[in-house]
């Protein structure tokens, strides 16, 4: 009889421990989502006094918050250099990357992308009196790009080898404002933001040289569970107009 009771007790203990462990593991995994970003990319992500997630604000930050809310998870932003984001995903430092990141074949080899949530293109920002009217006019001019952005790849693909790359869009714009370069190649919405905030600049488009690009959220390869959750949220936000109105709102506001 005693032995029997002992065995039940032992069995119960094992079951309790197993449940405890499972719950613990599940809680840790499900209760918080850490998004990696590079908060140097208005209107998608930038640092401000009071943002939608702590000091971080922008279209992407609002999308990240909604994804977390939809899944009843807390949200945390890990702000780092754009070039480090994919590695941070691979080594588990972040769960997902939301950074106005364009889907490219090269990146697809390293990460899994969500459904796209925004369409953009590269554009040229020049001084208002510039004679640059199309991409081929950049020949012989001082070109500036941001390191690791698709803009850098596009400039290379157009055959320009002689360009300067900066770590931040704001540094590139300063270079242009100060007359130290002739043109900055960068994503369209971010360009609009910079032109709004810096008088004397204009945007030059060239759809024959710059193809359209799609922004998506990246997760670690094979993280289907999280990707499904993210896709469900994005689909909802695309369908009900949330993303369209966020884009309009953040493009209009003065932001930083």
Binding positions for ligand GLN, rule: CB under 6 A: 38, 41, 82, 99-102, 149-150, 187
Specify the residue, 41 or 113, whose C-beta has the smaller distance to ligand GLN.
41
DSSP state of 25: H
Least distance (Å) from ligand GLN to the CB of residue 82? 5
Least distance (Å) from ligand GLN to the CB of residue 103? 8
Specify the residue, 16 or 207, whose C-beta has the smaller distance to ligand GLN.
207
Least distance (Å) from ligand GLN to the CB of residue 121? 10
Specify the residue, 62 or 73, whose C-beta has the smaller distance to ligand GLN.
62
Least distance (Å) from ligand GLN to the CB of residue 101? 4
Least distance (Å) from ligand GLN to the CB of residue 18? 43
Least distance (Å) from ligand GLN to the CB of residue 38? 5
Cβ-proximal residue to ligand GLN, closest one: 102
CA angle 233, 117, 98 (to 5 degrees): 80
Residue in 98, 6, 89, 103 with CA at minimum distance from that of residue 52: 98
Specify the residue, 51 or 100, whose C-beta has the smaller distance to ligand GLN.
100
Residue pair 112/222 in contact by the 8 Å Cβ criterion: yes
* Angle formed by the axes of helices 242-252 and 224-239, nearest 10°: 80
DSSP state of 102: B
Specify the residue, 71 or 198, whose C-beta has the smaller distance to ligand GLN.
198
Specify the residue, 38 or 233, whose C-beta has the smaller distance to ligand GLN.
38
Omega before residue 43 within 30° of 0, cis: yes
The Cα–Cα gap between 216 and 227 comes to 11
Least distance (Å) from ligand GLN to the CB of residue 29? 27
Token pair in block for residue 27? 């809680």
Following DSSP, what letter does each residue of 187-214 receive, concatenated?
EHHHHHHHHHHSTTEEEE--TTTS-EEE
Q: What is the CA radius of gyration of the chain?
A: 23
Specify the residue, 73 or 118, whose C-beta has the smaller distance to ligand GLN.
118
Q: State the residue for tokens 């994919």.
A: 86
Omega before residue 120 within 30° of 0, cis: no
């Amino acid at each position: 009889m005693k032995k029997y009771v002992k065995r039940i007790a032992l069995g119960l203990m094992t079951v309790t421990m197993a449940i405890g462990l499972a719950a613990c593991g599940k809680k840790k995994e499900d209760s918080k989502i850490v998004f990696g970003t590079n908060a140097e990319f208005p209107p998608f992500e930038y640092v401000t006094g009071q943002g939608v997630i702590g000091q971080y604000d922008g279209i992407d930050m609002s999308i990240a918050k909604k994804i977390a809310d939809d899944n009843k998870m807390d949200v945390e932003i890990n702000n780092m250099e754009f070039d480090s984001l994919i590695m941070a995903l691979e080594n588990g430092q972040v769960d997902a990357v939301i950074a106005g990141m364009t889907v490219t074949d090269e990146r697809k080899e390293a990460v899994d992308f969500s459904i796209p949530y925004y369409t953009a293109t590269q554009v040229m920002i020049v001084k208002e009196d510039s004679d640059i009217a199309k991409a081929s006019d950049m020949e012989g001019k001082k070109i500036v790009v941001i390191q690791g952005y698709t803009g850098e790849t596009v400039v290379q693909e157009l055959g320009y080898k002689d360009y300067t790359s900066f770590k931040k869009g704001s540094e590139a714009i300063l270079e242009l404002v100060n007359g130290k370069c002739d043109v900055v190649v960068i994503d369209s919405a971010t360009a609009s933001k910079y032109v709004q905030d810096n008088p004397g600049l204009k945007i030059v488009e060239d759809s024959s040289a710059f193809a359209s690009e799609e922004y998506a959220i990246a997760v670690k390869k094979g993280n289907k569970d999280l990707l499904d959750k993210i896709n469900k949220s994005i689909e909802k936000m695309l369908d009900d107009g949330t993303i369209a109105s966020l884009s309009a709102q953040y493009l209009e506001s003065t932001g930083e």
